[in-house]
Structure 1
């Protein structure tokens, strides 16, 4: 078995890693072809990475033109602790307002663990008026867990 295969996570491990993490590095494509990279909190929608943003944000303008994204979720400080999941996919805009707010709640829960929903709901409803949400349909997943190297 080659080293790449040895450090790859199983599907269940990828799922657990995404469920247990909070932030994603999201790359979209600028009009000139360069990457636009931002770190954001995310939620999960039926196991898929979901995020929201203001409708006028650069990432939203990029996605309206080209829905391709890369999503990196990583952990670890030292080389032998590095773990990560890189999801390539297409960001599909969510149009249903209730679903947008549901994604907003999932994100808010990750941003503020332990805060009760009744305190998060007013924030999500207020900020959600100007936000749009996306769900990433995976086209490819790459994962690694360097703890397996020891």
Structure 2
């Protein structure tokens, strides 16, 4: 994607994975394009481009959101978190990422970033989410490789570990 001239773009200031960012975006630019092509955050995948598959899920002000349905200008002043911001520290996976690794809850990995961001938002909001609530959250994501059973096992393991961590904090 070619760089846009300053005359056709508008400034966008926001926090990305805890760091203040300022960039420019064309009025019709999607958040997926801003993240991937302008900022190099390629963990946010583009699947259907209609908000159906969930591969592009990020968090905006702590809520799961489809980046393919959000214009870049809409994140002005917001806190955006992508899968790149999920790890605790470089080389240290989050509890959720560890559970996915342990349960082999990914195959090709295309859908994984969106699922992780969606589940992370759920567990931050509801650390006691029931299996039914977790399944409902997962219903907004298309995965063609795993059959969902390992994803559900990983999610439940992560939920239990996060709950235990919260209770001992």
Greater RCO, 1 or 2 (C-alpha within 8 Å, sep 6+): 1
Using structure 1 for the length normalisation, give the TM-score: 0.31
Name the structure with the higher strand share.
1
Calculate the TM-score normalised by the size of structure 2. Answer: 0.29
